[in-house]
Amino acid sequence: MPKKFLQKFMPDHDTIRNHKHLKIFGTLLHSPNLFHLNRRSVAGAFANGLFNAFIPVPFQMILAAAGAILFKVNLPLSIALVWVTNPLTMAPIFYGAYKIGAWLMGTEAGDFHFELTTEWLMNGLAAIWQPFLLGCFVSGTVAAILGYLTIRLYWRYRIVREWRKRNKKRAKLSS
């Protein structure tokens, strides 16, 4: 089952509760629902984490934790999944989001040269912020829906497969 696989990689509950950046949530982290591994909580964590991965802010993990607490889904998975956008993948993912946003707005995606300077952030980002944020929202929403549905379907597939194995084993023993 996916549950057994995921439990190998899950951190201890106390590690999460005592994390310095998550202390702002206080006693909300003591809810046992935040650490359950079931089809609903894992699928919800995938949706929450993937959506927050496409939010272009430096504190995505805190947003994912807040979403996990709000929707009562698996907290560690929600936080881990925001790392889909990490320093190696962030540029191509966000550029793709910008292209999607420009396409949806019916504007031409302009070529631009990114520089990590205050001047570029003030001038260069001003020209692309609307298609960029629209693309991030749409990409995050699509990723969240696909992640949620994929996990729900995969979990169901694995359970049905286990039931069939068990039934075959029982049929062999009874004959």
Task: Please report the pLDDT score of residue 146 as a whole number.
Answer: 97
Task: Please report the pLDDT score of residue 46 as a whole number.
Answer: 96
Indicate the pTM of the whole model. 0.79
Structural domain including 80 reads: 2-174
Question: Cβ–Cβ contacts within 10 Å for residue 65, how many?
Answer: 27
**Contacting residues for 45 by C-beta, under 8 A, at least 6 apart:** 68, 73, 74, 75, 77, 78, 81
| 59-76 confidence digits (pLDDT tens) | 899 999 999 999 999 998
Contact 139, 100 (CB under 8 A): yes
- For residue 140, name the pLDDT band (cuts at 50, 70, 90): very high
| Domain total of the chain | 1
- Distances in Å between the Cα of 40 and the Cα atoms of 7, 16, 31, 51, 57 are 15, 20, 16, 16, 27
